[in-house]
């Protein structure tokens, strides 16, 4: 089941019974239900339909049923990655942090891994992104939109198609990442961020290079 965003389309009636077809932007599932119920409370709505990003149409009853199904599934996923590389030793490390909601609780996964056989810091960034997708798979996160954040503009802009990639070895990493995302049916949203905003993943990558392994999952808050 895709955890996508939804657009509301409704027929609005004026006091003089004139009609206009209105449409919202794509918003989250919960927001769509809240706004739709508010529209209905006006008594001016003749018809109301929802359209998901994968072009399916839904009724309000169907969306409410969907929220009941999804409460047990990981959703609202934001995933960070960073790769580090020591030129004098050839050691590399990945660091990933994943935030998600499940059963009305907000969780955080922190993982890293030390590796050998990479040739540069750039390659470590591609490899870290591939590692992040594998961690999503291992935690049963699939069939939904995921926001990916990192400080490597090259990797994120190439994955989004904004920048071309001419290096054969990097194209292999891009193909691997895109293939795995397609397999998991994840719709990626890429967001390049400043290094200071990626400090969690950066620290994990450095710890991995230094031989400090982290593998944790913790509840960080309760959904209001």
The pLDDT > 70 percentage for the chain reads 97
**Residue 3 pLDDT:** 60
pLDDT given at position 223: 58
Neighbours of 74 (CB within 10 A): 21
Task: Cite the DSSP H helix spans in 87-198.
Answer: 121-138, 153-160, 168-184
Collect all residues with Cβ–Cβ distance below 8 Å to 16 and sequence separation of at least 6: none
Contact 201, 80 (CB under 8 A): yes
Q: Which residue reads 């954040």 in tokens? A: 149
DSSP letter at 197 equals G
What is the predicted pLDDT for the residue at 42?
A: 93
Report the C-alpha gap between 123 and 171 in whole angstroms: 11
Q: Residue 200: in which H helix or E strand, if any?
A: helix 199-209
- Please write the tens of the pLDDT for every residue from 5-28: 899 999 999 989 899 999 999 998
The per-residue pLDDT for 137 is 97
- Per residue in 203-220, pLDDT (tens digit) is 999 999 999 999 999 999
Instruction: Dump pLDDT digits (tens) for 111-164.
Output: 999 999 999 999 999 999 999 999 999 999 998 889 999 999 999 999 999 999
Burial of residue 55, with CB atoms counted within 10 A of its CB: 0-12 exposed, 13-18 middle, 19 or more buried: exposed
Long-range CB contacts (within 8 A, 24+) of 167-174? 169/119, 169/123, 170/122, 170/123, 170/126, 173/123, 173/126, 173/127, 173/129, 173/130, 174/126
Dihedral-angle region of residue 85 (phi above 0 means left; psi in -120 to 50 means alpha; beta otherwise): beta
The owner of tokens 């009609």 is 19
Let me know: does 187 contact 147? Beta carbons within 8 Å.
no
Q: pLDDT, tens digit, for every residue of 66-117? A: 887 777 788 889 999 999 999 989 999 999 999 999 888 899 999 999 999 9
**pLDDT recorded at residue 30:** 86
31 alpha carbon, distance to own chain's centre? 18
pLDDT band at 2, cuts 50/70/90? very low
């Amino acid at each position: 089941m895709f955890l996508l965003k939804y657009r509301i389309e409704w027929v609005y009636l004026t006091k003089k019974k004139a009609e206009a077809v209105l449409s919202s932007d794509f918003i989250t599932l919960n927001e769509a239900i809240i706004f739709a119920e508010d529209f209905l409370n006006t008594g001016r709505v003749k018809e109301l339909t929802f359209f998901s990003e994968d072009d399916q149409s839904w009724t309000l009853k169907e969306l409410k049923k969907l929220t009941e199904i999804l409460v047990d599934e990981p959703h609202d996923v934001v995933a960070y990655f960073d790769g580090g590389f020591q030129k004098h030793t050839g050691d590399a490390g990945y660091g990933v942090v994943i935030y998600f909601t499940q059963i009305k609780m907000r969780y955080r996964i922190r993982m890293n891994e030390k590796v050998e056989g990479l040739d540069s810091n750039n390659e470590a960034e591609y490899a870290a992104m591939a590692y992040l997708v594998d961690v999503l798979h291992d935690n049963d996160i699939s069939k939904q939109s995921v926001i990916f954040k990192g400080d490597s503009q090259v990797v994120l802009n190439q994955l989004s198609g904004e920048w071309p990639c001419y290096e054969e070895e990097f194209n292999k990493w891009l193909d691997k990442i895109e293939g795995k995302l397609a397999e998991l049916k994840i719709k990626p949203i890429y967001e390049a961020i400043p290094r200071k905003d990626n400090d969690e993943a950066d620290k994990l990558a450095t710890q991995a290079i230094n031989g400090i392994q982290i593998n944790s999952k913790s509840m960080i808050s309760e959904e209001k």
